[in-house]
Amino acid sequence: MIRWFDTLSSDDVALVGGKNASLGELTTKLAAAGVRVPHGFATTADVFWSVLDGAGLRSQILDLLNDDTRSPSDTAAEIRSLIETAELPVDFVDALTDAYHALGDRYDQDNVDVAVRSSATAEDLPEASFAGQQDTFLNVSGIEQVIAAVRKCFASLFTERAIYYRNEKGFDHSDVALSVGIQKMVRADQASAGVMFTLDTETGFPDVTVINAAWGLGEGVVSGEVTPDEYRVYTPFLDDDSLSPIIGHQVPRKDRKYVYTNGGSTEIAAVAETDAHASVLTEAEILQLARWGESIETHYGQAMDIEWAKDGETGDIFVVQARPETVQSQRQSATLRTYSLTETSEVLVRGAAIGDAVATGPVCRLDDPSQRDAFVDGGILVTELTDPDWVPLMKRASAIVTDRGGRTSHAAIVSREMELPAIVGTENATEVLNTGREVTVSCADGDEGQVLEGILDFEVDEQDLSTLPEVNTRVMINVASPPVAMKWWRLPVGGVGLARMEYIINNIIEVHPLALTRFAQVEDAAAREKIEQMTAGYDHKPDYFVDTLARGIATIAAAQYPHPVIVRMSDFKTNEYANLIGGQSFEPDEENPMMGWRGAARYYSDDYADGFALECQALRMARQDMGFDNIVAMIPFCRTPNEGREVLKIMAEQGLQRGEHGLKVYAMAEVPSNIMLADRFSDLFDGFSIGSNDLTQLTLGVDRDSDRLAYLFDERDEAVTRSIRHLIDTAHDPEQGPAIPVGICGQGPSDHPDFAAFLVEAGIDTISVLPDSVARTIRTIAEVEETIHHHA
């Protein structure tokens, strides 16, 4: 009638249900890995049937379930009443009493506090998840309370919800029994609890462990009542004790928690102000839990969903449940979406298409991001142009349409990162499209995007990436957003050709680095207050910048490890830096920021040196402390070789010595001097990445944001292609020494197949494009390589 957890295994689901069988498996098979599970025992399914049969209830219950004249709620209530008042077999009561006292003896407690949990005999099987349908009673103490809780667990197999679920799934009611697990209580009410997944829950990326943690009982996390801390750990590095691969560490304000009441239920209590902003788990505890998760996943041979709790009396952490993860692990991999309209209507507005998706919804025409309250979630954002202040609104939109801007404008870049369809440079969208008008935004037809009248039907095609051809030219991706980086782990690419540090600084950190290193110089009272709030929990304000930037970079690096991830040091213009919190105090007002104090020139200037030092510290933390030695540093807008030497010297002083720990440093090739003096720059750097937008702009003397001159802006112009060919030839010239790689990280190759053909023929080493352009780019490269091979 009673089975102790240390006598059970996963083979005992029919005997004690999925939950208790899992606890048995954890107890017996994973103790050697250090995994702690609170002691306990389970009643067998046979006891459940003996209770029903002893009271003559089995046939009576089945008759009630088959009676269509009664309401489901009345049926469920009557069945539960019959079970709760049934006489329990004496031998079972004796066995239960002996086991409870034996558990108390293990902990040297007379009325040991226990959790009493239901475990249906089909629970947590892949084809059926009964999780949460049956009752659990916490903080139960004394044999009388235990017996009462066991009765209620038996009865809970017949809640209205549980009956409905079994009917929906086609389970025979007589095939599902109930076992009860009785387990030493973990006093998480005095500490913390949470959930751990051994993969990324949003993308299915298998090499990360996600841990949620909140003060008090785990009910706060599971119910969503409390916004928990979230820690993300890169699992493959856990074997190296010298590393701390915690790539995510979000600590929101937590002002409430769940605690026990004396009656065995729970209630919400306030969190002490000193704990509200504090991290629930220490670094050592996060890594310990992640290692346990890895052991559990390895044992079960699949991704796992694990509940854990920390005992406030002993300080020990325990695993209290483990079950297979059932969402991401079931998904098909290696697919790419393409969109196409299945009907058409009047074209209202045309412009440059960004992305290749289709979206529908009501127009929300806004002049300023302060009008956010007027925006309808899922609407089509229509405005003149966007800047970083619009980003929170853009996240709520289903598509973006602007009057101004080209393919490299803010609206275009951010829309691509968010995977939102956008149409830029329409000239008249704000005149034609009025708020409330229902439209379809289509970027499914190549370069031109269209806003069409009405809500149109469209199809989404899923493409198998495994059918893509092999190519010799390495294809990489451009990534800015760490959360989005994980999404692309299945793409057949060779790393990240451009990871833009600015996104992390602008959208996640939000504070100007000098406003942290020189906080006393921040004059704006509102900015000071905001910085104080954002750095709460940090004794040293600059650590907020370093930690957040390092973890963001590490997340991008983790998604592509061990392939190279080229991280460009910050390349804001002064007007963009000034828009960061506290930035106004530290930035000059320039007539032409595009050609002003940006890139390398900032890094060795006394007016930004301590800001660049924070960037270097973050890169060093991600590479050396976390272990991501696949990170390559890249210096933007380096106008002269002397600038390059100055920057490399400062990086070395900050612990980023080129060549040490395998560190490579690349230069952006985007200024004509980089091309003309390619041989000199080759002596300083380990590789080049062509920034085709700036190179085209500076070679042709065309403002890339000018609508009037847009027809002249073309990276396929002979002046630009000659420059690119010269750079490649010089970098690969054996007389210059060992060849160094040359890549390109603009949109040109994916937008223009003929440009991609030129690059391959010229001998480019890598082509880095946005993730949604990968399949198209690979096919283009394959055709070009085949043609070259054929001619050869």
Own/partner pairs, 101-108, CB within 8 angstroms, 24+ separation: 101/143, 103/39, 103/40, 103/41, 103/182, 103/184, 106/39, 106/184, 107/39, 107/184
- Catalytic residue, from 443, 616, 638, 745: name it: 745
Does 745 qualify as catalytic in the annotation? yes
CA geometry: angle 64, 65, 68, nearest 5 deg: 85
* Close Cβ partners of 144 (under 8 Å, ≥ 6 residues apart): none
C-alpha dihedral, 507 to 509 to 512 to 514, nearest 10°:
-160
**Strand pairing category for 399-402 and 380-383:** parallel
Tokens of 572: 């804001």
The C-alpha atoms of residue 211 and residue 100 are separated, in whole angstroms, by: 33
Q: What is the largest CA-CA distance in the chain?
A: 95
CA dist 325 and 303 (Å) reads 6
Q: Which has the closest alpha carbon to 353: 474, 488, 446, 251?
A: 446
Exposure string (b/e) for 569-582, b if CB count within 10 Å is 16 or more?
bbbbbbbbbbbbbb
Cα 407 to Cα 185: distance, rounded to the nearest angstrom = 59
Closest of 373, 358, 369 to residue 394, by C-alpha: 369
Residue type, 513: P
Q: Find, among 255, 243, 213, 218, the residue nearest to 231 by Cα.
A: 213
Burial 285-302 (b: 16+ CB within 10 A, else e): bbbbbbbbbbbbbebbee
Exactly one of 39, 249, 410, 512 is catalytic; name it.
410
Report the C-alpha gap between 210 and 300 in whole angstroms. Answer: 18
Rg from Cα positions in the chain: 31
Q: Is 789 a catalytic residue?
A: no
Token pair listed for 314: 């002993």
Tokens of 543: 């650590």
Which amino acid type is present at position 3? R
Q: Helix 58-65 and helix 45-54: axis angle, to 10°?
A: 90
Phi, psi dihedrals of residue 208, rounded to the nearest 5°: -130, 145
Tokens 């006891």, residue? Answer: 47
Q: Is the dihedral angle over the CA atoms 350, 351, 353, 357 positive or is it negative? A: negative
Cis status of the peptide bond prior to 749, with omega within 30 of 0? no
Point out the residues that are catalytic: 410, 745
